[in-house]
Amino acid sequence: DAEITQSPRHKITETGRQVTLACHQTWNHNNMFWYRQDLGHGLRLIHYSYGVQDTNKGEVSDGYSVSRSNTEDLPLTLESAASSQTSVYFCASSESGTDNEQFFGPGTRLTVL
Amino acid sequence: DAKTTQPPSMDCAEGRAANLPCNHSTISGNEYVYWYRQIHSQGPQYIIHGLKNNETNEMASLIITEDRKSSTLILPHATLRDTAVYYCIVRPSGGYQKVTFGTGTKLQVIP
């Protein structure tokens, strides 16, 4: 069955380190998204992509970057991790077009010490 | 500005219908209403969406008022597994950058 996976599921890192969170989907969806979820804030959009070589900033993109070199993967990089980036990160994908549901991965819990 | 307003929490007896309200008074003509839910710390799960007509699927029904300023998600026979946070989202027909999930409604189904 098609699915969306995230790795690692849990990560502890230190302030200032570069961290990359992986997201892989097998639905062949063109649209992919990264969200962070913090208590009291719901889910907030970090970056999104409509296809290969396309990336766009969401509402909380500072300190994060993404690249889309193929349809299946959208890795999220924290260039220099900060304690404020301790959060749960969710990746999602959807078919092309805007009237389509998003499928979410299981999440990655990141702790920055 | 928040695009949707939901009560922070609700209780529902097991086996009864759960009616979750959402206000979206600033919705524009080309914006859809979507509902997702998040069980414990899992990734959100799509439930249903609609533009202006009422919708029903195997999970729930969505009732949108005629002026489209509010909607209600109905779980016809709530079970303990429906305990989750439910998010009402208004999504424009073009672009994802303005989509926010907000804090949703925590639905507790009581035995």
Predicted local distance difference test score (pLDDT) of residue B41: 81
Bridge pairing between strands A31-38 and A87-94: antiparallel
Cα of B17 to nearest chain A Cα, Å: 24
pLDDT at residue A86 greater than cutoff 90: yes
Residues B64-82, mean pLDDT to the nearest whole number: 96
Residues B30-57, mean pLDDT to the nearest whole number: 91
Sequential DSSP letters for chain B: --S-B--SEEEEETTSPEEEEEE-TT--TT-EEEEEEE-TTSPPEEEEEESSS-EE-SS-EEEE-TTSSEEEEEETT--GGG-EEEEEEEE-SS-STT----S-EEEEEE-
Predicted local distance difference test score (pLDDT) of residue B2: 46
Say yes or no for a CB contact (<8 Å) between A106 and B42: yes
| B21 close contact with A: CB closer than 8 A | no
Q: Which pLDDT band holds residue B93 (cuts at 50, 70, 90)?
A: low
Predicted local distance difference test score (pLDDT) of residue A2: 73
Provide the CB-side half-sphere exposure for A23 (13 A, CA). Answer: 31
How many angstroms separate the CA atoms of B62 and B53, rounded?
Answer: 9
Q: Which pLDDT band holds residue A15 (cuts at 50, 70, 90)?
A: very high
Q: Which residue of A has its CA nearest to B51?
A: A99
Percent of chain A whose pLDDT exceeds 70: 97
Looking at every residue in chain A, the average pLDDT score rounds to 93
Q: For residue B111, is the peptide bond before it cis, meaning its omega torsion is within 30 degrees of 0?
A: no
Predicted local distance difference test score (pLDDT) of residue A83: 97
Q: Which pLDDT band holds residue B18 (cuts at 50, 70, 90)?
A: very high
Instruction: Name which of A102, A103, A108, A109 to mutate to probe chain B: the one with the most chain B Cβ atoms within 10 A of its Cβ.
Output: A102
Residues A28-49, mean pLDDT to the nearest whole number: 90
